Amino acid sequence: MKKVILKLSPPWSSAKEYATEALTRGINTFYAPPEIAEKVKSLGSVKVLSDGSGGDVTVKKFDEGAQPEEGVIYRVKVARKEDEEKVYSLAKSGASAVMVEAEDWKIIPLENIIADLHKMDTELYAEAESVEEARTLLQTLELGVDAVIYEPKSINEVAELAKLVQEKDLMPLTAAEVINVKEIGMGDRVCVDTCSLLEVGEGMLVGSQAKGLFLVHSETLETEFTSPRPFRVNAGPVHSYTLSPDGKTKYLSELKAGDTVLTVNYRGVMREAVVGRVKIERRPLILVEAEKDGEVFKVILQNAETVALVGEDGKALSVSKIKKGDKVLLHLSHKGRHFGKSVEETIIEK
């Protein structure tokens, strides 16, 4: 997911006010000078970038010829074509992240840098001069930078920044037609109880194939037999993939209390939720197969009235009533996965 990093400057009295407001808005990453870095860290569960000591992550100015250090973010001022090459060279050398600065992003073609780096492991950070510029940086080439750094000029701008990421970071979803529903016997299924109250039309992306993940609805609806448990997603068997906030997949069996999972609603709006508890129990299972553009995708779920997929209109479709011809929402990715990471290779999953 895209990130907003709030840049803070002394005095501490004003920096603290901005940081506190940011935390209430869900922004918990800051870029602060050494003299206030420790104070920012004292505010709670935060991540602090700093040019010197005191931060969680060190930011260094890039010196040509130096080998990238693990965990260090390198700052590069981009003013001409040769500077773009520096960024690309850093990425090829294995730098975890590069922070690019420019006096005018209208002059410097950020598209080139994004295009060069988007298939690499290096994250791209960019400083913005306004909230509107931050929006542009997050959207360029439809890929955008991984994080935008901005020093707010007012408290109101903190709220605008938080809203910017929430609104613009959308998960592409598509409707696929159900072609088969089949009871398949018993298995170990995973209930993910989050520390958040989920909404109608919201759930987790789960599937048997990483390239096609179904939107599994949260237990937000009341049934004849049970009360709502809006914090829960009955996600499926232990083997299933789920998509994490970092874009990687995890097996449901790997999840535990304290982990962070990605929740998505039927419009594609994403947010992160902390796992409070994982329950693995032996239950009857059902296979659902759906087809999109001639390709078949599969998900296995507990065969229960409270377990549902999500239709195009955001309504829950219980697996106990789902049938051939119904349309359900999926997230499609035609990249393979190696240890949960997206890779450009051919992997066949049936």
Geometric angle at alpha carbon 12, from 9 and 14, rounded to 5° = 75
Same fold? 3-168, 174-343: no
DSSP string of 62-88?
A: --TTPPPPTTPEEEEE--SHHHHHHHH
| Mean pLDDT of the chain, nearest integer | 87
Cβ atoms 249, 337 nearer than 8 A: yes
Whether the per-residue pLDDT at 337 is higher than 50: the answer is: no
**pLDDT value of position 340:** 43
Geometric angle at alpha carbon 220, from 250 and 326, rounded to 5° = 75
CA-nearest of 258, 261, 237, 259 to 247 is: 261
How many Cβ atoms are within 10 Å of 280's Cβ, its own excluded?
14
**pLDDT value of position 241:** 97
Which tokens in the block code for residue 136? Answer: 């542009």
d(CA 133, CA 332): 30
pTM recorded for the entire structure: 0.63
Give the CATH number of domain 174-343: 2.170.16
Q: Where are the domains of the chain?
A: 3-168, 174-343
Whether the per-residue pLDDT at 312 is higher than 70: the answer is: yes
pLDDT tens-digit readout, 196-223: 999 999 999 999 999 999 999 999 988 7
The CATH homologous superfamily to which domain 3-168 belongs is: Aldolase class I (3.20.20.70)
CA-nearest of 112, 68, 61, 72 to 91 is: 68
pLDDT tens-digit readout, 12-45: 999 999 999 999 988 999 999 999 999 999 998 8
* Cα-based distances in Å from 265 to 159, 195, 256, 322: 22, 17, 22, 19
d(CA 173, CA 233): 19
